[in-house]
């Protein structure tokens, strides 16, 4: 364990050079404060992996110094790792009302809600976390109740923006608290950590308020059922959809577990206002006139198991998408999801629906919750940091964010483009350096196991996925080269049995020859290796495939 | 076999409701003519599959009636299936000079070039294919030497557009032959098949010529090496890059097998003009000044094994991307490739390069080769078809193309939105109907095997990829329930051995109990099933995973 007396350090355990699994750490003298603990969804290079969470080895080694986990807002990439984290380190968690509500759903699913130490905060709280005085400022984003954080350490103030945009006409009338941001900047910010998601986009993001008129226009034109999908956590969007339904005399059916969950939590906690009698049960829909119904559902990313995908491929219980129904995507495809989304769109069009889809900003049905370039420059200008770390983005976003910071006057040598685990040490306000790193990386959640899937397992899965496998069983008489039984060759995912009889015979013949050639003074491992190599060559020559080959030798 | 006396039929064996594996068939009385034979690249739902080609069962059953295969142009989605097709049906192939050159490369790789019957045509040829008189018209596209086709059948003229855009200032000065198209339309078109790739895009596509000034500007600013990537087959683009290099005093190194191949073929056949001494060998580059070098390479789609990806991750032989080098993506990511492309961009930025990337039309470094909505309407207007089949596109593209056709006056009931295999029968010019279908679908090429990978194999591969596999070997004494040897449990892609000793022990104990409970009058299959079910339950309860379980029983 490394005890530091008079240094303040900052590093990320996730969120840098990636979108997802955000986790940042501030160490002031002997006090550790953690910001967010997100999850990330795997791509196809990680077959079978369910979720990626940060590696918290360093935190486990320094458990007694952790003063708490502060959560900036309730999105998956900021809260998705919390259950796995708390099971290992049951530290106090600080978050706003709605954020806590969303965290609690997760903790309940994992059966650890009762044992967790959750504390509700708002932007007016001041937390004393050892040597760190922590204050907050409200930001605008695509979920309510978001915080930015100012950490006053003995060596200066460090600001973490959380996720933000500037929206001067917000739906909940609670604009980002620019006055408090200005005051924090005026008092002096030594180091700023600011999110970079939309650093590639010039200009400013449109206001969430713009959606309303587009929704209204589409609702007015629709003559039959309306299906509309958005991120469940986008409570402001859900409120706008509810309000549009009220104005247009439609009642709402909620579909999809996360939609139902988030609406319940957001309503209970006062973030969403749905008049009595507005919500329908599924059983009520058939008896209603189609122009009186709107269905608000999950599946805007084309997730195969979500409500909208199942509706689109007619795999949904009693509800159907019918000709002349309207389907609105109030969302944009996240990179990587485009083909899934267009597949759903195709299926909906086949059912005869009028589908409004495409890049959300083009259809007027979606705006981003992340600051564009001019907004990032506004934040940099408000905070006037001496040092800057762009966070929450892939490399090119951080790269561009660095250029934006330079453009408003931050010295290039005072900007740190980090990797997860790279530590920025504040020695004093004139000496801020990055020279060391701590352990950081991806931990895979697979089934109920955490971290038990490593590179070897994944490599095997990729081989198995590519060309399948072949198991060859040979029983030998103990101590002899004589085959007692077999070889028996069995394949899965390789070639279909009946089509490949001749190939299997050749493999068996090849194994017999290999056993005969084997020097049986050598051990079994040599024989296995010989069989593997010889069969591999045979198969590649015949089929150009490279299945996994598993020889099994039984001595009798 | 079905002999039709006086009907003309049209259907697709690929290319409808998909982008890829284009193959269309026209049957006039007893004569079959095939248009294109493309391949399609699989997505992650088809693990291990190398290429998808059309199912040609129907053509094999009607071999003696096939008069030839006409190829509209040399893109993979129009020629990728040809080698596999010709191995089964060695019919005459008709294509233009450059298209033939690209086909020949493939046939050579497959060792069937000598046996193939290739015929060079141009737009002035007239082919008599039985009852079908075939004429051609030149179109503009992102590869030179493209044809549209007019088939004069006894019942009327059928036009197939091939892939096209309208470019009034083409790089090779050979504009699409709008006069001939107008003449064909004037003579009367009964049925039009027109491509739909960009049916979602309003307006008109920009001219290829626009790239030049953007290239020039970037070349003028660059102070060190320039790397530029584009589709190898985009010969006009390559010509513009070559010309820009000449104007800016840079010599060119070609990197990537397909780039070298296409440049060779296109130069030999006169489609590309590269002055003597312009091309560099890799060994010459180190001795040259960086501002004298441009590297034209493959990899604009982020393909992990292509030249640019390897350069970006410093896995390339002697050549390096260095700080201040410029990298230009003269291409747009194809849907599904975005994450691969941005990964390469991130790596290039990390090396300090100035990278010009993003949606090609935004950077001015790429234009599409497919007609936008106004161009599609122009083609429809020129041809004035009585009946219309939108082809070459996913469902929503065909859907929009139908609306475009309606907007210029084609009757909705005269427009056919088909599936591959759906047959449109022309009885006479007033009776054109779709009531029947023939066999059509995806055939998977995997290694050297064609069609030997079916749904069972793919399902197994998906299970193997998801949670790996477990092989359990038990030897029993013949006729008894007594275990002679084992159980031995072996896993791959499941959990890492050392971490899971306790689980493996439980599995083995579970198997022993299952063997004891087994009624050994029943056959081995029952025991295998019992072991599988019992172990499956145990594992799911403990790990929430569902690996493939393979019990192997050996009787001794």
CA distance B82 to B76: 10
Choose from A373, A395, A493 for mutation: most chain B CBs within 10 A: A493
Digit-coded pLDDT (tens) for A460-518: 999 999 999 999 999 888 777 788 777 989 999 997 666 688 899 999 999 999 988 88
Q: Three-state secondary structure along B258-279?
A: HHHHHHHHHHHCCCCCCCCCCE
| Of the partner residues A396, A496, A556, the one whose CB lies closest to the CB of residue B345 | A396
Q: What strand order describes the sheet that includes B387-391?
A: B127-129, B132-139, B146-153, B156-160, B191-195, B387-391
Q: Are residues B493 and A464, on separate chains, in Cβ contact within 8 Å? A: yes
What is the spatial distance between Cα B15 and Cα A93, in angstroms, rounded to a whole number? Answer: 54
Residue pair A494/A468 in contact (Cβ under 8 Å)? The answer is yes
B195 Cα to chain A: minimum distance (Å): 17
| Encoded tokens for B519 | 């009624």
**Nearest by CB: A548 against B347, B492, B499:** B492
Question: In the structure encoding, which two tokens stand for residue B207, read together?
Answer: 């001219």
Looking at A16-120, which runs of residues are DSSP E strands? 23-28, 31-35, 51-54, 66-70, 93-95, 118-120
Distance from CA of B154 to the nearest CA of A (A): 34
**Is there a contact between A419 and A434 (Cβ–Cβ < 8 Å)?**
no
* Angle at alpha carbon of residue B97, lines to B95 and B101, rounded to 5°: 90
Q: For residues A209 and A174, is the Cβ–Cβ distance under 8 A?
A: no
What would the mean pLDDT of A383-399 be, rounded to a whole number?
98
Predicted local confidence at residue B130, as pLDDT:
95
Peptide linkage before A487 cis (omega within 30 of 0): yes
Alpha helices (runs of H) in A46-162, residue ranges in sequence order: 57-61, 76-79, 82-88, 97-109
Q: Give A355's contacts in chain B (Cβ within 8 Å).
A: 396
- For the stretch A258-284, pLDDT in tens is 999 999 999 999 999 999 999 999 999
Contact between chains at A465 and B469 (C-beta distance less than 8 A): no
From B44, B449, B495, residue closest to A495, measured CB to CB: B449
Residues of chain B neighbouring A457 (CB-CB closer than 8 A): 468, 493-496
When CB atoms are compared, the residue of B336, B461, B542 closest to A493 is: B461
> Residue B206 has what DSSP assignment?
P
**Backbone dihedral region for residue B399 (phi beyond 0: left; psi -120 to 50: alpha; all else: beta):** alpha
* Contact indicator for A194, A376 with CB cutoff of 8 Å: yes
Determine the Cα angle at A217 with ends A213 and A223, to 5°.
150
d(CA B33, CA B94): 11
Q: Which residue of A has its CA nearest to B498?
A: A452
Q: Is residue B73 annotated as involved in ligand binding?
A: no
Residues of chain B with pLDDT under 70: 1-4, 360-361, 496-499, 520
Whether the pLDDT of residue A27 is over 60: the answer is yes
Number of other residues whose CB lies within 10 A of the CB of residue A289: 8
Nearest CA in chain B to A394: B346
Residue A289 Cα, gap to closest chain B Cα (Å): 28
A543 and B448: CB-CB below 8 Å?
yes
Q: What are phi and psi of A246, to 5 degrees?
A: -60, -50
Q: Please report the beta strands in A73-130, taking only residues with DSSP state E, as ranges in sequence order.
A: 93-95, 118-120, 127-129
| Inter-chain touch B48–A542, beta carbons under 8 Å | no
- Structure token digits, residue A513: 């020859």
Cβ–Cβ gap B346/A394 under 8 Å? yes
Q: In chain B, what residues touch A200 (CB-CB under 8 Å)? A: 358
DSSP B366-416: ---SS--HHHHHHHHHHH--SEEEEESB-HHHHHHHHHHHHHTT--GGGB-
ipTM of this predicted structure: 0.88
Tell me how far apart the alpha carbons of residues B406 and B390 are, in angstroms, rounded to a whole number: 12
Reading the block at residue B445, the tokens are: 């090429």
> Would you call A485 and B556 a contact, using CB atoms and an 8 Å cutoff?
yes
**Inter-chain contact A465–B462, Cβ cutoff 8 Å?**
yes
Based on DSSP, count helices (H) and strands (E) in chain A, helices before strands: 16, 26
Average pLDDT, chain A: 93
Among candidate residues B63, B369, B331, B363, the one with its CA nearest the CA of residue B197? B369
Nearest to B196 by CA among B405, B398, B373, B422: B398
Whole-number Cα distances in Å, B509 to A21, A470, B69, B180, B203 = 39, 26, 63, 80, 69
- CB-CB neighbours of A322 under 10 Å: 12
- Collapsing DSSP states into helix, strand and coil, what is residue B149? strand
Q: Does the distance separating the beta carbons of B394 and A346 come in below 8 Å?
A: yes
Could you tell me whether strands A226-229 and A293-297 are parallel, antiparallel, or unpaired per DSSP bridges?
Answer: parallel
Q: Contact, A146 vs A162, CB < 8 A? A: yes
Q: What CA–CA distance (Å, rounded) separates B301 from B320? A: 20
The residue among B44, B203, B396 with the most chain A CBs within 10 A of its CB, best to mutate, is B396
Q: Which residue has the tokens 């791959």?
A: B492
Search chain B and give the residue with CA nearest A304: B45
Distance CA B300, CA A190 (A): 41
Q: Do A396 and B495 touch (CB under 8 A)?
A: no
Q: Which of A103-107, A518-522, A540-544 has the lowest mean pLDDT?
A: A518-522
Q: What is the C-alpha to C-alpha distance for residues B449 and A543, in angstroms, rounded to an integer?
A: 6
Note whether B48 contacts A447, CB cutoff 8 Å: no
Nearest CA in chain B to A554: B485
- What's the full length of chain A, in residues? 556
Tell me the mean pLDDT in the region A200-223.
Answer: 94
**Which residue among A458, A493, A556 places its CB closest to the CB of B460?**
A493
Residue A22 or B501, more confident: A22
Out of B457, B467, B552, name the one closest to residue A468 (CB). B457
CA dihedral sign of residues A549, A550, A555, A556: negative
φ and ψ at residue B226, rounded to 5 degrees:
-115, 125
Please report, to the nearest 10 degrees, the dihedral formed by the alpha carbons of residues B373, B374, B378, B384 taken in order: 50
**B367 annotated ligand binder:** yes
Contact A447 B545 (CB under 8 A): yes
Tell me the nearest-neighbour CA distance from A453 into chain B, angstroms: 6
Q: Cβ atoms within 10 A of the Cβ of A11, count?
A: 25
Distance, in Å, from the CA atom of A287 to the CA atom of A305, rounded to the nearest integer, reads 27
Per-residue confidence (pLDDT) for residue B498, from 0 to 100: 66
Q: What pLDDT, on a 0 to 100 scale, did the predictor assign at position A290? A: 96
Q: What percent of chain A has pLDDT over 90?
A: 82
Coil, helix or strand at residue A52: strand
When CB atoms are compared, the residue of A454, A468, A544 closest to B461 is A468
pLDDT in tens, B17-66: 999 999 999 999 999 999 999 999 998 889 889 999 999 999 999 999 99
Contact in structure between A33 and A129 (CB atoms under 8 Å): yes
Contacts of B347 in chain A (CB under 8 A): 395
Structure tokens at B190: 């009964």
Sheet containing strand A483-492, edge to edge, reads A483-492, A469-476, A548-555
Contact A465, B47 (CB under 8 A): yes
- Chain B residues in contact with A350 by the CB 8 A cut-off are 395
Q: Measure A464 CA to nearest chain B CA, in Å.
A: 6
Helices (H) and strands (E) in chain B, counts: 16, 26
Q: Distance, in angstroms, between A496 CA and closest chain B CA?
A: 7
Give the integer Cα–Cα distance in Å for A93 and A116: 8
What are the chain A neighbours of B17 within 8 Å (beta carbons)?
346
DSSP state of A99: H
Q: Are B241 and B251 in contact (CB under 8 A)?
A: no
| CB-based contact A545 B453, cutoff 8 Å | no
Residue A457 CA to residue B499 CA, distance in Å, equals 12
Q: Which residues of A touch B355 (CB under 8 A)?
A: 396
End-to-end CA distance of chain B: 54
Domains belonging to chain A, first-starting first, are 8-203+368-450 (3.60.15.10), 210-363 (3.40.50.10710), 455-555 (3.10.20.580)
Nearest residue of chain B to residue A468 (CA atoms): B461
C-alpha A74/C-alpha A258 separation (Å) is: 13
Q: Reduced to 3 states, what is the DSSP secondary structure of residue B218?
A: helix
Which residue of B lies nearest to A349 if distances are taken between CA atoms?
B396
Q: How far is A253 from chain B (nearest CA, A)?
A: 27
Which residues partner with B294 through β-bridges?
A: B226, B252
| Contacts of B85 by beta carbon, 8 Å cutoff, 6+ apart | B37, B53, B56, B69
Residue B356: what pLDDT? 95
Give the least confident one: A135-149, A190-204, A230-244, B351-365: B351-365
CA of B114: how far to CAs of A321, A384, B34, B265, in Å?
Answer: 55, 72, 21, 18
Q: Which residues of B touch A349 (CB under 8 A)?
A: 395-396, 399
DSSP class of B257: H
Say if the Cβ atoms of B473 and A552 lie within 8 Å: yes
CA distance A85 to B349: 33
Residues of chain B with Cβ-Cβ distance to A496 below 8 Å are: 452-454, 456-457
List all residues 6 or more positions away from B135 whose beta carbon is below 8 Å from its beta carbon: B125, B126, B149, B150, B152, B184
CB-nearest to A473 from B349, B458, B552 is B552
Which residues are within 8 A (CB) of A303 and not within 5 positions of it... i.e. 6 or more apart? A309, A340
Tokens of residue B522, six digits: 């029943």
Quick check: A469 and B473 CB within 8 A?
no
* CA nearest to B472 within chain A: A552
Q: What is the pLDDT of residue A1?
A: 42
How many CB atoms neighbour CB B7 within 10 A? 16
pLDDT digits (tens, 9 = 90+) for A212-253: 999 999 999 999 999 999 999 999 999 999 999 999 999 999
Across the interface, of B448, B456, B475, the residue whose CB is closest to A554 is B475
């Amino acid at each position: 364990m490394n005890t530091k007396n008079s240094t303040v350090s900052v590093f990320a355990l996730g969120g840098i050079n990636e979108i997802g699994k955000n986790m940042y750490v501030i160490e002031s003298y002997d006090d550790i404060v953690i910001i967010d603990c997100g999850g990330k969804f795997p791509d196809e290079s990680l077959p079978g992996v369910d979720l990626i969470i940060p590696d918290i080895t360093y935190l486990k080694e320094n458990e007694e110094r952790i003063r708490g986990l502060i959560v900036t807002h309730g999105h998956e990439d900021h809260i998705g790792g919390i259950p796995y984290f708390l099971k290992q380190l049951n530290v106090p968690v600080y978050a706003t009302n709605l954020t806590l509500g969303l965290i609690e759903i997760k903790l309940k699913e994992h059966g650890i809600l009762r044992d967790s130490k959750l504390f509700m905060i708002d932007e007016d709280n001041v937390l004393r976390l050892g040597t760190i005085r922590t204050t907050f400022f409200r930001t605008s984003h695509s979920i309510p109740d978001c915080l930015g954080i100012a950490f006053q350490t003995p060596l200066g103030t460090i600001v973490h923006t959380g996720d933000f945009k500037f929206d001067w006409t917000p739906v909940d009338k609670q604009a980002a608290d620019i006055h408090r941001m200005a005051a924090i900047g005026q008092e002096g910010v030594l180091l700023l950590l600011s999110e970079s998601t939309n650093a590639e986009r010039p200009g400013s993001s449109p206001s969430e308020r713009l959606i309303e008129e587009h929704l209204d226009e589409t609702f007015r034109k629709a003559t039959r059922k309306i299906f509309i999908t958005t991120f469940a956590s986008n409570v402001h969007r859900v409120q706008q959809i509810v309000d549009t339904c009220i104005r247009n005399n439609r009642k709402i059916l909620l579909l999809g577990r996360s939609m139902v969950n988030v609406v319940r939590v957001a309503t209970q906690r006062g973030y969403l206002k749905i008049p009595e009698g507005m919500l329908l049960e599924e059983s009520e829909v058939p008896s209603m006139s189609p122009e009186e119904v709107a269905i608000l559902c999950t599946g805007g990313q084309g997730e195969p198991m979500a409500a909208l995908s199942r509706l689109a491929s007619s795999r949904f219980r009693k509800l159907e998408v019918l000709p002349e129904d309207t389907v609105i995507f109030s969302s944009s495809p996240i990179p990587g999801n485009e083909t899934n989304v267009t597949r759903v769109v195709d299926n909906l069009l086949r059912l005869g629906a009028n589908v409004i889809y495409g890049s959300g900003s083009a259809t007027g049905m979606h705006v981003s919750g992340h600051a564009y370039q001019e907004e990032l420059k506004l934040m940099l200008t408000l905070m006037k940091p001496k040092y800057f770390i762009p966070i929450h983005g892939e490399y090119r976003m951080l790269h561009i964010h660095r250029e934006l910071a330079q453009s408003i006057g931050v010295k290039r040598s005072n900007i740190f483009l980090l990797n997860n685990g790279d530590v920025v040490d504040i020695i004093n306000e004139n000496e801020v350096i990055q020279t060391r790193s701590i352990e950081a990386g991806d931990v895979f959640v697979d089934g109920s196991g955490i971290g038990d899937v490593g590179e070897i397992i994944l490599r095997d899965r990729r081989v198995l996925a590519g060309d399948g496998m072949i198991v060859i069983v040979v029983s030998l008489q103990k101590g002899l080269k004589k085959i007692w039984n077999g070889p028996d060759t069995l394949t899965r995912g390789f070639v279909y049995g009946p089509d490949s009889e001749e190939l299997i015979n050749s493999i068996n013949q090849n194994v017999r020859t290999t056993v005969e050639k084997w020097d049986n003074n050598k051990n079994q491992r040599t024989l296995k290796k010989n069989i593997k190599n010889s069969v591999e060559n045979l198969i590649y020559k015949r089929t150009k495939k490279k299945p996994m080959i598993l020889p099994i030798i039984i001595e009798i």
